[in-house]
Amino acid sequence: MSDHDEVRPPLSQEMRSALGVLREEKPSARLRARLGEALVRADDGRACARAAGDVAPGPWRLLLAYPSALALAGLVLGAGLVLLSPPGAAGTRDAEPVPAREVAFRRSGAGERWLELPWSHAVHSGEPATVWLETSPPLDFRPHLTGLPSLALVNCDAARCVHAFTARTGDAATPLRVRIERPGRYELRLSHVSEVRHVQERFVVVVD
Amino acid sequence: MSRGWGVVSGFTSKRGPAGLEASERARFEAAVEPLLPRLHRFCLALCHSRQEAEDLLQDALVRAYLRRGDVHSGPSLAWLCGIARNQFLEHRRSVARRRSLLDSVLEGTTTALGSLFAGGVEQPDPEARLGASEEVERLWWCLRQLPEKFRLVVLLCDVEELGHEEAARVLGLPVGTVKSRHSRGRARLGALFAATPGRHADAVSEGGRP
């Protein structure tokens, strides 16, 4: 930290005024009532035990506290699962999870190697499928798929990236190859949907 | 404050016993009452939506109430903010553990579940909406664009008007770090505020930058 860092930049008059108004912001009466109710519940032995050891978020606690809210959650959850089918899914079919599979991969020699994922493309009966693939940074599959016009990087966070693309299935299925540079244990998640099926797969890749 | 916070709180509760528990609760409420607006604003600065901030405030207060015996001199702002911050980090970690990025992407096809788990079952608070002026919402929007490490320091120093030493106690940071972050955070906020003349109420109430 330098001396320069400690010099506080001046605030504009407009910002001073906004800060003053913000300083007046208080919890509403409704929120105060809600907090009061929460403290009453905390005095209940069940609530005490839950609050002491539970790390579940507030809304879950609300659901457990109110049976009617739990019923509503069930309804919304059902509706949510229907809506979760990605665009292009046949009707409102739910995703079919496939048990996780472990894939052993032995690298021979130094440098990068490509692992072809044994994904269940056959379930789509040759229909094109929209695929979402989640990888973590040591893994890269993009270079191999750059020829796919639909390839898109959908989202990334600090540890993972999700790519989406359309793949061929059946006899001429698009191979999903992942570049592996280092030994380790990697987890890849795959979701693929066609007019026929919607499948979710998880691969645990162990690289020597 | 001698009264409870709500109609079912304190001595008027039908659920809680009218004896020791109720008076303990009333004592806690009275001790926390002067700090409540500040703690509320701290939660608003941590979270990206009002609903999330209210959930956090509730969880933090319940945890503080259950651990009130830990502080013999009564609850302080630093203690309460520390609990809120830990709860926030704990919740963020547990959400990250439960969800994969792929789940998040696929979930983008609907907002139904997200709004439920973010407290969307409740209707927006009309009082809060009325009270939040455009100017305040604009400032909240700008604050939420700052990285958390700057946002909290600016909130404590410029909104709550705490000294650097006290802000350092609240955040558990060295005073020098707080001074540095205050200076840089304030500069960033000033530039953002000047460059953001429009209305951002929607961005604040629905959640800003992730």
Question: What CATH number corresponds to the domain at position B188?
Answer: 1.10.10.10
Which chain A residues touch B110 with a CB distance below 8 Å? 80, 83-84
Which chain B residues touch A19 with a CB distance below 8 Å? 139, 158-159
Q: Among partner residues A6, A39, A160, which is closest to B179 by beta-carbon distance?
A: A6
> Which residue on chain A is closest to B164 by alpha carbon?
A6
The domain total for chain B is 2
- Tell which residue, B111, B210, B146, has the closest CA to residue A156: B210
CB B185 within 8 A of CB B150: yes
All residues at 6 or more sequence positions from B203 whose CB lies less than 8 Å from its CB, including other chains: B141, B144
Q: Are residues B157 and B115 in the same domain?
A: no
CA-based torsion, B183, B188, B189, B194: positive or negative: positive
Of B20-24, B32-36, B60-64, the one with minimum mean pLDDT is: B20-24
Confidence label for A144 from pLDDT (cuts 50, 70 and 90): low
Angstroms from A110 CA to nearest CA on chain B = 31
- Looking at B94, B122, B150, the residue that finishes a domain is B122
Q: Are residues B76 and B154 in the same domain?
A: no
pLDDT-above-90 percentage for chain A: 2
Per-residue model confidence as pLDDT tens digits over A86-99: 444 333 456 788 88
Backbone dihedral angles phi then psi of residue A173, each to the nearest 5 degrees? -60, 145
What distance in Å separates the CA atoms of residue B193 and residue B48, rounded to the nearest whole number?
18
Tokens 């207060």 identify what position? B61
Q: Do A85 and B109 touch (CB under 8 A)?
A: yes
What distance in Å separates the CA atoms of residue A107 and residue A207, rounded to the nearest whole number?
7
Q: Are residues A202 and A104 in the same domain?
A: yes
All residues at 6 or more sequence positions from B47 whose CB lies less than 8 Å from its CB, including other chains: B53, B56, B88
B10 touches A: beta carbon within 8 Å: yes
- Tell which residue, B204, B57, B63, has the closest CA to residue B145: B204
- Given a cut of 60, whether residue A112 has pLDDT beyond it is yes
Confidence label for A185 from pLDDT (cuts 50, 70 and 90): confident
- Residue A14: the pLDDT is 85
Q: Do B94 and A37 touch (CB under 8 A)?
A: no
- Tell which residue, B35, B26, B25, has the closest CA to residue B80: B35
- Given a cut of 60, whether residue A203 has pLDDT beyond it is yes
- Residue B108: the pLDDT is 54
With respect to residue A5, please indicate whether it lies within any of the assigned structural domains: no
Per-residue model confidence as pLDDT tens digits over B168-203: 998 989 999 999 999 999 999 999 998 886 544 333
Q: A138 versus A14: which is more confidently predicted?
A: A14
- Residue A134: the pLDDT is 83
Per-residue model confidence as pLDDT tens digits over B91-144: 887 776 666 666 766 665 433 333 333 333 333 454 444 444 677 888 888 998
Which chain A residues touch B102 with a CB distance below 8 Å? 132, 134, 162, 189, 191
Longest dimension (CA), chain A: 70
All residues at 6 or more sequence positions from B22 whose CB lies less than 8 Å from its CB, including other chains: B10, B11, B13, B16
The domain total for chain A is 2
B141 touches A: beta carbon within 8 Å: no
Strand order in the sheet with A139-140: A113-116, A177-180, A139-140
- Tell which residue, A67, A128, A110, A95, has the closest CA to residue A199: A95
Per-residue model confidence as pLDDT tens digits over A19-30: 988 888 888 888
Which chain B residues touch A161 with a CB distance below 8 Å? 101
Per-residue model confidence as pLDDT tens digits over A147-177: 555 566 666 666 677 777 888 888 888 888 8
Per-residue model confidence as pLDDT tens digits over B40-83: 999 999 887 888 899 999 999 999 998 888 888 889 999 999 99
CB A136 within 8 A of CB A159: yes
Domain CATH code at residue A191: 2.60.40
Q: Are residues A155 and A57 in the same domain?
A: no
Which chain B residues touch A41 with a CB distance below 8 Å? 15, 62
Q: Do B158 and A69 touch (CB under 8 A)?
A: no
Neighbours of A50 (CB within 10 A): 18
- Given a cut of 80, whether residue A5 has pLDDT beyond it is no
B119 touches A: beta carbon within 8 Å: yes
- Looking at A83, A104, A136, the residue that finishes a domain is A83
Tokens 């409420």 identify what position? B29
Domain hosting residue A26, numbered range: 12-83
Supply the mean pLDDT for chain B.
75
Domain hosting residue B181, numbered range: 127-210
Per-residue model confidence as pLDDT tens digits over B42-51: 999 988 788 8
B25 touches A: beta carbon within 8 Å: yes
Q: Among partner residues A12, A37, A69, which is closest to B121 by beta-carbon distance?
A: A69
Q: Are residues B114 and B141 in the same domain?
A: no
> Which residue on chain B is closest to A30 by alpha carbon?
B125
